[in-house]
Structure 1
Amino acid sequence: MAIDLIIDKRIHDLGGGFKVGRVLPFRARRMVGPYVFFDHMGPMMLAPGIPRNLDVRPHPHIGLSTVTYLYSGAMTHRDSLGSNIEIRPGEVNWMTAGKGITHSERFERARLEGANMHGIQAWVALPNEAEEVDPSFAHHAGDDLPTWSDAGVQGRLIAGEIDGLRAGVQVHSPQFYQHLEMVSNARHTVSAQYSERAVYVASGSIQIADQSLAAGRMAVLKPGQAVDLRARENATVMVLGGEPVGERFLLWNFVSSSKARLAEAAEDWRQQRMKLPVGDDMEFIPLPDSAAPPLKT
């Protein structure tokens, strides 16, 4: 068997009615390589004039990089470094939180024009030596994201390197992240280059060995062997993975190898010691009650 585990997305409300399909973390599989969080956004039709409570208000992160990638729609990103940019389909927003950053994500274009919001947001845990780096943000419009076309497969490498290709995104540990558009009966081989790999179907369905994988499902692959994917119909597929960075703990929007560091970050946010995004500092997401008790190591 090529598949070790199948994970179904679970519906989660980000607040204000914008719902996502959460895949990682999962009780039986917390991470795939350094990928510690994986949310499928939409597809969701947003009408002109949508209320601001659908936006993701300013909130903090530590110890990770966030990766935003859209199939359709647009989002406006602002952060505490002063970044202010709209991301569109095929582009990548890569924000490294390190020792601490705050940001917001707003549906400003949809509020004006309407939009079909559809995309993926993932978190990549930083390795121990990079957990406390200075925060940074990079927008990649696509020129340094390698693309290819082969027998019914249109591919884009979003981050990392695989199959002789390397994306321009600065990563901190060995990993890869691909977007595939596959027509019916097209095939793609996931190489055995990394010890941990997973395949997520965003739309359509595919076949892995004798297992069918429908939209909204992630297959965690067994290590050590190349795995063939076949599209059962037109399909949008994400392939990701890398090498493990070690155990990570999560508290709300914080990721760390240290529970004490999570408690420190939570207290910093509770006491409003973290700078809010430049130009978007009039509201924020308060620390949830469930994250309030300090953690013990």
Structure 2
Amino acid sequence: MIEHTITPVTHDLGQFEVRRAIPARARTMIGPFIFVDQFGPAQLDIGSGLDVRPHPHINLSTVTWLFDGAIDHRDSIGSFSTIRPGQVNLMTAGKGIVHSERSPQAERDAGPRLYGMQTWLALPDGQEDIDPAFEAVGDLPVIEDNGAKAVVIMGNLWGQRAATTTHVDTIYAEIMLEAGGTIPVDAEADERAVMLVGGTAQLGGQQLGLYELTVLKPGAAAALSSDSGGRIMLLGGEAFTTQRHVFWNFVSSSRDRINQAKEDWSVGRFPAVVGDEEEWIPIPTKPKTVAP
């Protein structure tokens, strides 16, 4: 049932921690997911906040999902959205986009809360350099049965399909289990994984480790359950047959394309974030996100 388990690398950012499960040595992708970060739960000091300065992406989509708190998203195609729990923000970089993520002023005044997920999806062959796009989707399917409540964030699960755009077969869901609750895990996706992000839960009777990414064997039937209540993320989808390379915030099937993006950012060829033009993040000498 379980293929392997990945313990994320934890980055301490002072007032909160970010746990990066993939890319990892054991696994670089789960379906289209090529980057999986979990952050919080955290309560930041009054007056402080999240300030991710403008930075670029290519050939991928970013997916932001919050359990608690709020984040202001701005990008270079003019999008603005305050991300809140229950709403998925999907930003498709395609041929290139720049965005920033900051705590809203109201959150700073009260002391921001941060708890959620940010994932990246590689774009499929032939669509890597599509036009950039952004959408915020809040009307998502909810399934409730047997002490379980599941929100379908992307794809088709438990007979319900989210309106969120997908460029390749993708599954993504948040599952909340009450004490004694249970829910089956879809077995049709090529690749699947679950991450316990709060409370306790079992997969087929085996205890899940908090924040560990548990990769399921292809086609294996499984069910999630909990004795005392838990929150679990389910993710996966179609397996990629061509390799993706990662350097910093760039993902591509072509190393040359990544090198071009690095040069473009260094010399200022990317467009500016509308409403957040004064700051930017330079390319790091040793980025924390690197894959073959």
TM normalised by structure 2 equals 0.94
Root-mean-square deviation (CA), in Å? 1.5
Aligned to 2:191: 196
Distance 2:153 2:213 in 1: 18
Letter aligned with residue 266 of structure 1 = K
Contact 2:15 2:44 in 1 (8 A): no
1:282 to 2:278 alignment: yes
CA shift, 1:19, in A, is 3.0
SS at structure 2 position matched to 1:132: coil
Distance 2:9 2:119 in 1: 15
SS at structure 1 position matched to 2:126: helix
SS at structure 1 position matched to 2:43: strand
- The farther-off stretch of 178-187 and 16-25 is 16-25
- 1:143-198 CA distances to partner (integer Å, 9 max, x unpaired)? 2x111110111110001112321110111001110110101221111121111000
**Of 48, 51, 54, the match for 1:50:** 48
SS at structure 2 position matched to 1:27: coil
Letter aligned with residue 115 of structure 1 = P
CA shift, 1:11, in A, is 1.0
Aligned residues: 286
**Of 173, 179, 188, the match for 2:174:** 179
Aligned to 1:30: 28
Aligned to 1:294: none
- Change in 2 beyond 3 A, CA 1:268/1:17: farther
The percent of aligned pairs where both chains have the same amino acid is 45
Distance 1:279 1:211 in 2: 48
CA shift, 1:16, in A, is 6.9
Aligned to 1:158: 153
- 1:257-295 CA distances to partner (integer Å, 9 max, x unpaired)? 01111101011011111012101010010011136xxxx
Unaligned runs of 5+ residues in structure 2 are none
Distance 1:289 1:262 in 2: 15
Unaligned runs of 5+ residues in structure 1 are 292-296
Distance 1:133 1:224 in 2: 32
SS at structure 1 position matched to 2:259: helix
Letter aligned with residue 166 of structure 1 = R
Aligned to 2:254: 258
Distance 1:271 1:201 in 2: 41
Contact 1:204 1:214 in 2 (8 A): no
Q: How does 1:85-234 map to 2 (within 5 A)?
A: 85-108=81-104, 109-140=106-137, 142-143=138-139, 145-234=140-229
Distance 1:131 1:74 in 2: 29
TM normalised by structure 1 equals 0.93
Distance 2:157 2:84 in 1: 24
CA shift, 1:7, in A, is 1.1
1:67 to 2:66 alignment: no
- 1:15-66 CA distances to partner (integer Å, 9 max, x unpaired)? 6765311111111111100000010011110122016xx4111000001100
CA shift, 1:210, in A, is 4.3
**Of 32, 38, 41, the match for 2:39:** 41
Distance 2:112 2:197 in 1: 18
Distance 2:14 2:45 in 1: 15
Distance 1:156 1:114 in 2: 27
Contact 1:47 1:110 in 2 (8 A): no
Distance 1:215 1:287 in 2: 32
Contact 2:15 2:43 in 1 (8 A): no
Distance 1:258 1:231 in 2: 43
